[in-house]
Amino acid sequence: MIELHNVTKYFKSNRGRKYIMRNINLTIPSGVNVGILGRNGAGKSTMMRMLGQIEFPNKGKIVSSNSFSWPLALSTSFVPGMTGRANVKFVCKLYGKSDEEVKSIIEYVKEFSELANYFDMPISSYSSGMRSRLSFGLSLSFDFDYLLIDETLSTGDARFKGKATKALQEKIEKCNVLLVGHQMKILQDICHAGIVLNDGNAYYFDNINDAVNVYEDINKSKEN
């Protein structure tokens, strides 16, 4: 279970505080894959970063006994001057993996990400898509209660998207997913429930199709 208690998040700007969330209270039940929907700037990625404890609310708190992956599309979690291989090894050591486990994870991530020679080049030379693929493969090689996925499935060509989707579906047999995305079909295929973020508010729906319908209605109203 994940509980948000009076969560408020804002960023300071020249025009004062820009609120992303205001006094959000909601509960995400255990054992549920959740899609997070919202227009650009609604706070989807911010919510992901707070769940992954990369950012924190300005007010309120998020309570859960679950373990969370880093957001899979988050490229800033890597050290730019280090190679892909060195970054993977560094993360493995942070999580206390043995030498044998580190070796196995490195080989898996190299194969999965399809970075070839770039795997042994500095992260600073990677495109955003290459960083996402490295992050995706690395997260799949760890066991978490929740995978946090932020637009990663839109990375790469159609063949790689298919590969990533299949790998994710295999992984979520052992864990749950919080998935941010604009591809409704993927959200509906993977997620049971949905959260819609809009104008600083968050609305939880037990059925992902209901969340998609509300999100599409919001889009239509904004266009008119």
pLDDT digits (tens), the chain, 224 positions: 999 999 999 999 888 899 999 999 999 999 999 999 999 889 998 998 888 788 999 999 999 999 888 776 555 568 999 999 999 999 999 889 999 999 999 999 999 999 999 999 999 999 988 888 888 888 889 888 998 887 655 556 678 878 887 887 888 888 999 998 778 888 898 899 999 999 999 999 999 999 999 999 998 887 66
CB atoms within 10 A of CB 19: 15
Q: Where are the alpha helices (DSSP H) in 23-62?
A: 44-51
Residue among 51, 36, 41, 49 at smallest CA distance from 1: 51
Superfamily of segment(s) 1-69+144-224: P-loop containing nucleotide triphosphate hydrolases (3.40.50.300)
Rounded Cα–Cα distance for residues 132 and 162 (Å): 15
Q: What are the start and end residues of each CATH 3.40.50.300 domain in the chain?
A: 1-69+144-224
